[in-house]
């Protein structure tokens, strides 16, 4: 794990590379992904089945591709009662949070008597991609399905990879909790293609949301415009601002909580206290040995981990804003005040008793977050990703009389005669 002081001669170059991190080299997988997308678009189910057999090592047909609601119910009934309670608690908390952000249709008359407003409408059909590679993620199903449900989406379809044709029981149980009626055993770029273009078995969707590997991210980027997408998500990342008021062991484990996701995940501590940074590093070296996913976490820590010692907390905040991390923990005595100074982060975890893991599962806010510095311009997944806004405009005679001449002037300036005339004929009719 890199240990750097901001006063080091090479720090600026290192940090610039960190800030300019990308979500992965898409150019390397672009030809493969493009071929998969084109094949599914051209041949539908036939191509889809071939790709599933190739990548997931089982031979599907239209019937075996679909996950039945009876499978979901059976999985839910079969898991430990404590897990059932945890899934339901998570569902309730995530639903409650997202209901508070539900956009409302509005209308009002301005001083000219013009009725203006915005109408929010749920999408007809949403496609949710749920990863199933190195681990199963029922929490991702909850985080994608619940805002779609709150938005009022008419049809929700889930796609998830099923190596050997098997789907994780806990993921199936989460589907039952969310009331999913349509789900398929297909992953990777193939799933994105099916949801974007449609096949004989899987109908085209209006939006595709959910995280995935570089093949999934690249596929989502390429189909954007054919359908909407939430964001281009890359490897998981965490940044922690902490000082000597924090427990170094707690911070070490928090950093490892993201490192264990993936070899490409990044974990960065920014602290004004060098001794504290050294203590965190010692605890990382101890705690990592206890992890079941130690090999993955070790690669992440060695390649993408860093402890940065800043001159003071103000510099810590400045560096965090430049980094624009997916997850930002602030573990200092004045954590709330520092949080007010953060402009760029997917989610902020405030105080000594707020590990990032709580946000991953059941705090309430969505855990599908912008990565790779895209928190500068992207927001977390939310209800609005499953809705669209339509503008409402209604002029009466008073409104067009008072505003029409200015509109005609602008149409004249742009050389659009029919635009001008469409206003003029109405003004003439009022004379």
Check whether 360 is labelled as a binding-site residue.
Answer: yes
Among 213, 207, 177, 1, which Cα is nearest to 89's? 177
CA distance 329 to 368: 16
Q: What angle do CA 130, 86, 381 make, to 5 degrees?
A: 40
CA distance 209 to 228: 9
The active-site residue, picked from 98, 176, 327, 367, is: 327
327 annotated active-site: yes
User: Which residues fall within 8 angstroms of residue 353, CB to CB, at 6 or more apart?
Assistant: none
The active-site residue, picked from 326, 329, 356, 367, is: 326
Check whether 112 is labelled as a binding-site residue.
Answer: no
Q: Are strands 306-309 and 106-109 parallel, antiparallel or unpaired?
A: unpaired
Check whether 230 is labelled as a binding-site residue.
Answer: no
Q: Please, what is the angle between helix 214-223 and helix 188-197, to 10°?
A: 20
322 annotated active-site: no
Check whether 327 is labelled as a binding-site residue.
Answer: yes
Check whether 140 is labelled as a binding-site residue.
Answer: no
Is the Cα torsion angle 261, 383, 208, 62 positive or negative in sign? positive
Among 107, 125, 127, which Cα is nearest to 117's? 107
Per the annotation, binding residues for substrate are: 236, 258, 261, 327, 360, 414, 419
Per the annotation, binding residues are: 236, 258, 261, 327, 360, 414, 419
Catalytic residue list? 326-327
Per the annotation, binding residues for Zn(2+) are: 258, 261, 360, 419
């Amino acid at each position: 794990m890199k240990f750097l002081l901001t006063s080091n001669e090479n720090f600026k170059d290192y940090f610039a590379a960190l800030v300019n991190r990308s979500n992965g080299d898409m150019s390397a997988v672009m030809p493969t992904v493009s071929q998969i997308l084109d094949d599914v678009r051209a041949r539908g189910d036939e191509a889809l089945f071939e790709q599933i057999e190739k990548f997931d090592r089982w031979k599907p047909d239209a019937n075996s591709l679909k996950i039945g609601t009876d499978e979901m119910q059976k999985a839910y009934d079969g898991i430990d009662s404590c897990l059932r309670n945890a899934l339901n608690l998570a569902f309730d908390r995530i639903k409650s949070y997202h209901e508070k952000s539900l956009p409302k249709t509005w209308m009002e008359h301005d001083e000219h008597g013009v009725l203006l407003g915005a109408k929010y409408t749920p999408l007809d059909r949403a496609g949710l991609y749920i990863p199933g590679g190195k681990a199963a993620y029922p929490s991702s199903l909850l985080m994608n399905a619940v805002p779609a449900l709150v938005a009022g989406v008419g049809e929700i379809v889930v796609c998830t990879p099923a190596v050997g044709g098997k789907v994780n029981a806990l993921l199936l149980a989460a589907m039952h909790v969310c009331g999913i009626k349509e789900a398929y055993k297909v992953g990777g770029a193939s799933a994105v293609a099916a949801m974007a273009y449609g096949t004989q078995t899987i109908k085209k969707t209006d939006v595709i949301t959910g995280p995935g590997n570089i093949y999934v991210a690249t596929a989502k980027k390429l189909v954007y415009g054919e359908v909407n997408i939430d964001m281009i998500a890359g490897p998981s990342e965490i940044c922690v601002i902490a000082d000597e008021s924090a427990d170094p062991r707690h911070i070490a484990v928090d950093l490892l909580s993201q490192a264990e996701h993936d070899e490409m995940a990044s974990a960065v501590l920014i602290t004004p206290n060098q001794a504290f940074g050294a203590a965190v590093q010692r605890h990382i070296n101890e705690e990592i040995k206890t992890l079941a996913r130690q090999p993955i976490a070790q690669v992440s820590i060695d390649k993408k981990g860093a402890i940065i010692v800043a001159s003071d907390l103000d510099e810590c905040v400045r560096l965090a804003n430049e980094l624009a991390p997916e997850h930002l923990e602030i573990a200092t005595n004045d954590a709330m005040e520092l949080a007010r100074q953060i402009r760029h982060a997917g989610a902020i975890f405030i105080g000594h008793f707020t590990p990032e893991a709580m946000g991953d599962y059941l705090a309430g806010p969505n855990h599908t977050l912008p990565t790779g510095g895209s928190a500068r311009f992207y927001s977390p997944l939310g209800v609005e990703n499953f809705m669209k806004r339509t503008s409402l405009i209604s002029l009466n005679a008073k409104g067009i009389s008072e505003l029409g001449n200015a509109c005609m002037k602008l149409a004249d300036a742009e050389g659009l005669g029919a635009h001008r005339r469409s206003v003029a004929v109405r003004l003439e009719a009022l004379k």
